[in-house]
Structure 1
Amino acid sequence: MINIRYVSRNAQRPEGGSSSSSHIISAGSTRFHDSSGNGTNTGIAAKTNKTGNLECRKSPFTGVFVVNTPAHAHSGVSHLAEHMCFRGSPCYPADHELFVANALLPLSINATTYSGCTYFYVQSDNKALFISAIQYLYSGLVNTHYEKSKFETERSGVLVNELTLLERNIDYLNNMAIRRSDTSTMAYKHAGGFSDSVLEIGFDDLIDYKKRWYDGEHITLLVSGADTDGDEIISLSRQAIAEISDIGCNTKSCDAMPFNEAAEAPASTLKRKATVPVCHISRQLTNNHQVKSIENDVSTWWVPQEFTYDLLDVEHQIKSRFIASGHFFIDDEVNHAGMIALRFIHNTKTNTQARTDAHKKVVSVLTEFNVEAKPRLFTDAKLPQAVQQLIRDYQQQANSRYSEPRSSLKTKPFTEYLNNVHVCRTGTHETYDKGKRADRPIKNNWVSTTEVAVELKDKKSAQLAADFPSLLSLENLPALPKLLHKLAEPTVKAAQNSEERFQCIGNNWVYRVDAQFHRHLIVIMASASFWQPRTTGECYALGVARFKGLIFIYGAQDRQASRRNLWCKNTLTQFDLDTGVSKSPA
């Protein structure tokens, strides 16, 4: 049976520390974390303001499911498994359940993956809604029954769109080239996968992974609420979870083939917010769309994560010492062995003697600083404070010596870890002309929802919305993702101009919803047809949000971005409130 723990809100906040980045709310959307686990910062943090508002209210209820989700090389199967937890279950079958709940209910649901663990969290100030959301999350976690069509759209559509968005970032590409060619036993396993590697994930691989790691016996639920009885909230949560087990929502599972190799052991601690450093590799990176071989040598020293704080404090000083000969940076993701990477990228292809000389200089500079081991406690400014506290509690339970932040720890001296260096050569990756690439539509192999009318008779209703109709409100809409602010600005300035509602650049778009249509939005958004571009894998993210007092429909990394103006217009004007059918344009 699942382990449930109540955590007092008096949990200690860490001093200093660092945080990781976030990304779009997507079905199963991981918060995307710079160079770590699943990716890099996309500039989209759709839920931050909403959870912030929740925390300003009186004592929201907070729950975090902790699941051990080790990476399987660079396959991305753990990333896909996380997404699939939100692709419906026998108990909550609607594909659009998450989107409706996050947009219209006083609720925040999301997931974040760090260092071999995925944390699925829910926060609400309504007790009954909170317990129902706990049940919804758990039913998705333990579900192993999926239609292959959903698997295909999530893997080849949503996930590829997400990773393609990340891989447009030149810093991310540089780090990807290093990781993919690193042959060290300490090398990072890129849990998020890459746009090509995720396409190698088979249906059986997904089912096998979920059966192995998303079993109820291996899931922990942490709950909190300052003004609640811990026994009561645990009892209600346990009852909600027991109902899922009694119904047997995960019994219709498919047979799966085992992986050829065991998944790596998870690391126990987490990483900070930092953009992936610009690696000053060959200027070939700015050439037109093509595959180039990058020949720079990369030297890596692996040191325990406990040295992270002191190293980050002096990282800038260290960088400044190597401008002429190369680029030094700290990849502070924690690997499977609890280590972080100190990387030095040589400016040119080097011979053995040149590398040896460079290594001596790097070690000499590093030993000039006083680097001591200190606990590395979890913090992520993008997450609600209560969620951070629950994750910290879990980490501190797993690492009993981490009882006090920034206290000294007994470990081997920092300098002893500098005796071993691993050298690899940055690999090959696809490079793009950033200017030309930005406005290029994604190649489309999908049947367009702008061309096909949607029939809803076989679609399932969003259950949480149906169970709590009195709580549905446009006041619960989240803030518009930051990535889309520049797109939205022109429509804000032209708010009185009905012809300038839509803005599109590349594969991202926004559509300003005029006030006359607001009264229909709740019904429209509760419909499965509204979310079809996302559930069919045409886009990475789709949503409705507020920006500067106005309401926008938006899409990100959308294969049909240029055609969404007509789609939005038809969705709003042709929606039949009697039949609940959105007649998409031809």
Structure 2
Amino acid sequence: MTQEARTSANTRILLCHTDSPEFSAVFAVATPIPDASGIAHVVEHLVFRSSTRYPEAHNLFAALALLPVKINATTLAGITYYFVETEHERLFYQALEFVYAGLIHCTYRSDDIKREKDGVIFQELTFRERQPGYEAHITDLMAEGRHTEAVAGGFSGGLAQLNESAINTYKATCYSPQNITLLMNNGDIHNVTTLLDIAAAQESIRPYTNYKTGDGNFGDNNCASESAGQKQRPTNTNDSNTTSKVQPRPEQSKMLSEGIAALIEYFINEGMQTDSADSSNYENTVISVPFEYLNSSRVALFPPIMTNNQASFVREAKSSGQFPFNTLPSLPKYVLNNWERFHPFLQVKNAHNDWYYAFPMADKILPRLEALLMREKFWSPRISGDCYAQGIGLHEQNVVVYAINDAAAANRKAFCEQLRAQLFDV
């Protein structure tokens, strides 16, 4: 039996019971792919960058390190999924509020956009583009007519052409609350509705009004300052349209849990993947792949973020005292495949600017380590925009800090030595 509710801003919530004992949820947002710029991918990153309620850029990373919760997202050909999963009901509600606040947050500082677009996402795309067979895979997708699937994430050489105005407009229109669907398999749907209403109020989202829309309009948009009849679809320097059918199943590499996979299948099988509010603008044309945009050598380095602001989402979640810090997540397969052994107190890096720094796990360092993980300064390589990914994990009683495709990898020795000094008084 499925229960349904609507928030005051008209976000649809569905409680679809599955066999999974965990609390699982999927936010689904229709995100059209207007060109090969990667705009939907950029906005996916910005959702986790900040919100009015949770302004710190490192909230997601601190949460994954310090809380028993999984939060992730993926941008596909015409739809973006955001995942939340945990065994703890109260934390589940807090995580849903955290993600929803980011989804409906409307505008971003120029510095935040540049660090994500020209820093993090550039590093991610160059990482993917150097993988064997990547260009051949894109060519095959295009030959099969799967154009939006081929270009949804963008390409490293094309990011510079994507302007901030287009990004903010795309976010404000495609992520209007009524364009968001939440599916959950456990929990109190009425409690969740109330929490999302609170988040919307904090983002100054007005109650939903069903404005009539015409060609070129996105519909009711709480974020933008224009009236409904004035809203235009995002424009960009490389703007073209798309015909490809939405392929809403995330790739297997996302390692979806049983609960998340079941919710996505329900979403697909029930035919709930509605077109975005501007779908008529994206029909009957074809996107080309600018192969000259692959493997760009342009690297943008930004001033490091070295503040000690704490992760407000994690602080609130831990305020109940339910989640003492006594463990760390496992290392991702990519890190384990790079290094068979982890040598303590050495910064070890490879030719692709991936690096790790390991040290023995000990109970006496846990309070200090927790304090470090709560601060923006620890996550500086990632939130400053230097690397594709930064994380921390436990492997064979070694704590391993790592970064993937870090443009400043050669300069991280001081970062690692400072980490050791703060934890071990050396």
TM-score normalised to the size of structure 1? Answer: 0.58
Match of 1:370?
Answer: none
Q: How does 1:311-460 map to 2 (within 5 A)?
A: 382-398=255-271, 429=292, 445-447=300-302, 449=304, 454-456=306-308, 459=309
Amino acid at match of 2:349: C
2:341 aligns to what SS in structure 1? helix
Q: How does 1:88-487 map to 2 (within 5 A)?
A: 88-176=50-138, 187-188=147-148, 190-225=151-186, 233-249=188-204, 258-260=233-235, 264=242, 267-270=245-248, 382-398=255-271, 429=292, 445-447=300-302, 449=304, 454-456=306-308, 459=309, 461-469=311-319, 470-487=321-338
Matched, 1:67 2:29: yes
1:533 CA drift (Å):
1.2
Match of 1:47?
Answer: none
1:530 CA drift (Å):
0.5
Distance in 2, matches of 1:397 and 1:111, equals 21
Distance in 2, matches of 1:162 and 1:514, equals 29
Distance in 2, matches of 1:576 and 1:143, equals 40
Contact in 1 for aligned 2:28/2:82 (Cα 8 Å)? yes
Measured against aligned partners, the alpha-carbon deviations of 1:79-135 in whole angstroms (never above 9, x if no partner) come to 001011001111111111101111110111111233321111111121111111111
1:472 CA drift (Å):
4.2
Match of 2:420?
Answer: 572
Measured against aligned partners, the alpha-carbon deviations of 1:313-361 in whole angstroms (never above 9, x if no partner) come to xxxxxxxxxxxxxxxxxxxxxxxxxxxxxxxxxxxxxxxxxxxxxxxxx
Highest RCO, 1 vs 2 (Cα 8 Å, sep ≥ 6): 2
Measured against aligned partners, the alpha-carbon deviations of 1:227-276 in whole angstroms (never above 9, x if no partner) come to x5xxxx11111011000122235677688974346754673444586xxx
Match of 2:382?
Answer: 534
Change (3 A) 1:263 1:223: farther
1:79 aligns to what SS in structure 2? helix
Change (3 A) 1:96 1:550: same
Amino acid at match of 2:182: L
2:152 aligns to what SS in structure 1? coil
Contact in 1 for aligned 2:326/2:366 (Cα 8 Å)? no
Contact in 1 for aligned 2:26/2:83 (Cα 8 Å)? yes
Change (3 A) 1:259 1:265: same
1:209 CA drift (Å):
0.9
Measured against aligned partners, the alpha-carbon deviations of 1:26-58 in whole angstroms (never above 9, x if no partner) come to xxxxxxxxxxxxxxxxxxxxxxxxxxxxx7xxx
1:186 CA drift (Å):
6.3
Contact in 2 for aligned 1:70/1:263 (Cα 8 Å)? no
Contact in 1 for aligned 2:76/2:250 (Cα 8 Å)? no
Amino acid at match of 2:78: G
Amino acid at match of 1:505: N
1:558 CA drift (Å):
0.4
Superposed CA RMSD in Å reads 3.3
Contact in 2 for aligned 1:100/1:526 (Cα 8 Å)? yes
Measured against aligned partners, the alpha-carbon deviations of 1:422-463 in whole angstroms (never above 9, x if no partner) come to xxx99854898xxxx9xxxx87542464xx8x343xx35432
Match of 1:514?
Answer: 360
Identity, % of aligned positions: 24
Deviates more, 1:70-79 or 1:380-389: 380-389
Measured against aligned partners, the alpha-carbon deviations of 1:492-541 in whole angstroms (never above 9, x if no partner) come to xx5xxx55x33110210111123354441111000111111111101111
Distance in 2, matches of 1:263 and 1:428, equals 18
Which one has the largest radius of gyration? 1
Distance in 2, matches of 1:265 and 1:237, equals 36
TM-score normalised to the size of structure 2? Answer: 0.78
1:548 CA drift (Å):
2.5
Match of 2:396?
Answer: 548
Amino acid at match of 2:62: V
Of 327, 347, 357 in structure 2, the residue corresponding to residue 502 of structure 1 is 347
Distance in 1, matches of 2:247 and 2:169, equals 26
Amino acid at match of 1:237: V
Q: How does 1:21-32 map to 2 (within 5 A)?
A: none
1:576 CA drift (Å):
11
1:152 CA drift (Å):
0.4
Contact in 1 for aligned 2:115/2:383 (Cα 8 Å)? yes
Aligned residues: 374
Query: Can you give the 5+ residue segments of structure 1 that lack an aligned partner in the other structure?
Result: 11-54, 274-378, 401-424, 578-586
Distance in 2, matches of 1:215 and 1:272, equals 23
Contact in 1 for aligned 2:76/2:152 (Cα 8 Å)? no
Distance in 1, matches of 2:294 and 2:42, equals 25
Distance in 1, matches of 2:298 and 2:240, equals 35
